């Protein structure tokens, strides 16, 4: 692949792509909805195309991301990283993500940037148990990690609740677009925060105290934490919680609760 920081005669590159695909200037102008005179001036350097005009030419020629991004960069425009991502990994479909999640024997779910759980595998619901499984399946508004954090039915099963909430708050603070407080949440989080504030008063006070002291956490492609969960019969399972990118542009993330020890895995598999 051509390195984007290398010098590139992008006009010559466009011209060569046009000729190699058998396009005359007249045909390319017609299929890109540009005037013939404008296209000629773009190729000769008499005019500089807008980003929209350049995109139209690239689309008409059917250039790949690897072919088009050096041209975009040479012309002074940002590369189309979204297209590179989808060309290589494909756009997400929730049913595909659910099928993939169900390949694993430990809890796996996919959440969006607002912490709504969009997809969860069978192991996730087995670990929740019948009472919480019913809550998550019946009430879509509760399939949000913030919303359930003050619900005693859920919070009471999180043995390291304070540490988990401190981690969750750190992620919120580490997202620059989320610079807000609990009194004035961004619209994206307003619904979950309101549902959280309708929960147990003691848990709400604890969360607000943690919010003041929790440091921001830097967002990376892989984020780890420890999560201790009590299954319905009281046995405790320690998970390594791993967060990875599922869809960069839809801002979806994989959450894997991987049992830390063989004994933890045995408990999960016994459910």
What CATH code would you report for 94-270? 3.30.450.180
Between 175 and 107, the higher pLDDT residue: 107
**Residue of 8 and 263 predicted with greater confidence:** 263
Residue 139 has pLDDT above 60, yes or no: yes
Q: What is the pLDDT of residues 60-84, one digit of tens each?
A: 999 887 888 889 988 988 887 777 6
Query: Is the per-residue pLDDT at 223 higher than 90?
Result: yes
Residue whose pair of structure tokens reads 């466009």 in the numeric block: 14
CATH 3.30.450.180-classified regions of the chain: 94-270
Mean model confidence pLDDT for the chain: 87
Q: Report pLDDT for 135.
A: 77
Domain spanning 10-89: CATH 3.40.50.720: no
Helix pair 187-197, 201-213: axis angle to 10 deg: 140
pLDDT-derived band at 136 (thresholds 50, 70, 90) equals: confident
187-202 tens-digit pLDDT = 677 788 888 989 999 9
Name the helix (H) or strand (E) containing 169.
helix 161-174
CA of residue 152 relative to chain centroid, distance: 28
Q: Which residue has the higher pLDDT, 6 or 149?
A: 149
Has this prediction a pTM greater than 0.75? Answer: no
Residue pLDDT, tens place only, 95-106: 888 889 999 999
Query: Which two tokens mark 200?
Result: 């147990």
Instruction: Give the model confidence (pLDDT) of 242-268 as tens digits.
Output: 999 888 777 889 999 999 999 999 999
Q: How many CA atoms lie within 13 A of 113 on its CB side?
A: 15
Residue span(s) of the chain under CATH 1.10.260.40 come to 10-89
Q: For position 259, what pLDDT does the model report?
A: 97
Write the CA distances from 213 to 11, 158, 172, 196, integer angstroms. 55, 20, 13, 19
């Amino acid at each position: 692949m051509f390195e984007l920081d290398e010098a590139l005669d992008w006009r010559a590159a466009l011209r060569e792509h046009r000729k190699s695909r058998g396009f005359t200037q007249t045909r390319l102008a017609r299929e890109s909805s540009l005037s013939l005179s404008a296209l000629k001036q773009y190729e000769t350097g008499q005019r500089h195309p807008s980003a929209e005009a350049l995109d139209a030419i690239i689309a008409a020629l059917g250039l790949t991301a690897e072919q088009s991004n050096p041209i975009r960069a040479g012309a002074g425009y940002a590369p189309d990283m979204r297209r590179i991502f989808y060309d290589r990994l494909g756009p997400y479909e929730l049913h595909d993500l659910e099928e993939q999640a169900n390949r694993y024997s430990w809890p796996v779910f996919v959440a969006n940037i607002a912490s709504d759980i969009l997809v969860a595998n069978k192991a996730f619901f087995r670990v929740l148990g019948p009472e919480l499984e019913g809550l998550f399946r019946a009430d879509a508004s509760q399939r949000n990690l913030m919303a359930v954090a003050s619900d005693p039915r859920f919070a009471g099963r999180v043995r390291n609740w304070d540490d988990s909430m401190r981690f969750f708050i750190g992620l919120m603070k580490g997202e620059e677009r989320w610079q807000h407080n609990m009194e004035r949440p961004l619209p994206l989080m307003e619904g979950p925060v309101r549902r959280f504030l309708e929960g147990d008063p003691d848990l709400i006070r604890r969360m607000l105290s943690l919010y003041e002291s929790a440091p921001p956490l830097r967002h990376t492609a892989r984020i780890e934490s420890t999560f201790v969960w009590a299954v319905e019969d009281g046995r405790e399972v320690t998970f390594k919680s791993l967060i990875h990118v599922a869809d960069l542009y839809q801002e979806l993330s994989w959450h894997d609760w991987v049992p830390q020890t063989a004994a933890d895995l045995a408990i999960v598999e016994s459910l």
